[in-house]
Amino acid sequence: MNKADIGLIGLAVMGENLVMNMESKGFTVAVYNRSVDKVSKFTAGRAKGKNIIGTYSIEELVAQLKVPRKVMIMVKAGQPVDDFIEKLIPVLDKGDIIIDGGNAHFPDTIRRTKYVEDHGLLFIGTGVSGGEEGALKGPSIMPGGSPAAWPAVKPIFQAISAKVEDGTPCCDWVGANGAGHFVKMVHNGIEYGLMAAYAEGFNLLRHANDGDSARAVDAETAPLRHPEHFRYDFKLDEIAELWRRGSVIGSWLLDLGARALAENPGLDGFAGRVADSGEGRWTIQAAVDAGVPAPVLSAALYGRFASRDRDDFANRLLSALRRQFGGHQEPTVEGGAHATQHPA
């Protein structure tokens, strides 16, 4: 087998799917994983019979690559990326390229670009968007880093990326140093806001039949002014299908929401505790540092905090304050709602 056009480290689902995508576009790919049993499993399974070379050490991976060597790292952001950079630097030659395709914080990418360039190599930090399906069928790719690295990587990245209707690739150079991961960070912050907007909208639709339910006047709720206005029993999966086909709020995220609601209309089994993986916080911190207002993105992030009961003590203090100033008796942890004495 000929030498590989690119090497990839990290055979989790995203890494595997990117490899399969690259191979399907005519590229030969060498692969390595820290747990080498994954290499054997992959090459004997999905990659069997394809132009994919399994390797079992960093040295073997590098030896299988065409010059200039291009190695893409697809591992968890943070120290694991630095660890692999340290392993790669001694076995690569001047002008070879290291690519970080994970969700790195852009200041880390600025640091890594300088560090790798100081060792005579080139570095690309790239955002990859589209999830597992996008990695396989065509993601949006946002590369930045060492400008001199782009001509060697461009043919591969633009071949595997998503395409608009006229064939234009959803991939182009966005800038030097940490630019690629800065763009991906803001992308993920926007994603937080979009997801929160969909969630709030569908939640309102779900409660559009509250007029058919008895709603007590207590410390928790005000009465519906016009209960006859809230007697709609919407099928949320059907509404999602209406919106995703030609609507101005149609999107891939809405497509995923429609699929989830069709499979499980009540979303049974989901606890509603929403994690934040870091990019949302980084986006808000960048907005603060730049003095740029981002109230929607901030609210989406804080909503995730609240979903994990991070507002529990604050809500209890609000209850205590209402009791202090207005005598409002709210339900205790044992239950037992009492009538509200004064409006608030």
For the chain, the first-to-last Cα distance in angstroms comes to 76
Distance of CA 73 to the CA centre of its chain: 17
Task: Report how far residue 188's alpha carbon sits from residue 282's, in angstroms, rounded to the nearest whole number.
Answer: 10
Amino acid at position 330, single letter? E
Length of the chain (residues)? 344
Identify the burial level of 21 via C-beta atoms within 10 angstroms of its C-beta, where 0-12 means exposed, 13-18 middle and 19 or more buried: buried
- Note whether 230 and 210 are within 8 A (CB): yes
Is 70 in the active site? no
Q: Are 219 and 338 in contact (CB under 8 A)?
A: yes
Q: Which of 60, 132, 191, 241 is catalytic?
A: 191
Q: How far is CA 335 from the centre of its chain?
A: 39
What backbone phi and psi angles, to 5 degrees, belong to 247? -75, 155
Separation CA 320–CA 316 (nearest Å): 6
Beta strand spans in 74-201 (E): 97-100, 122-129, 140-145, 175-176
Set 23, 38, 184, 330: catalytic member: 184
Where does residue 309 rank: exposed (0-12), middle (13-18), buried (19+ CB within 10 A)? exposed
The pair of structure tokens assigned to 86 is 């340290």
Return d(Cα 242, Cα 237) in angstroms, integer. Answer: 9
Tell me whether residue 86 is one of the annotated catalytic residues: no
Catalytic residue numbers read 184, 191
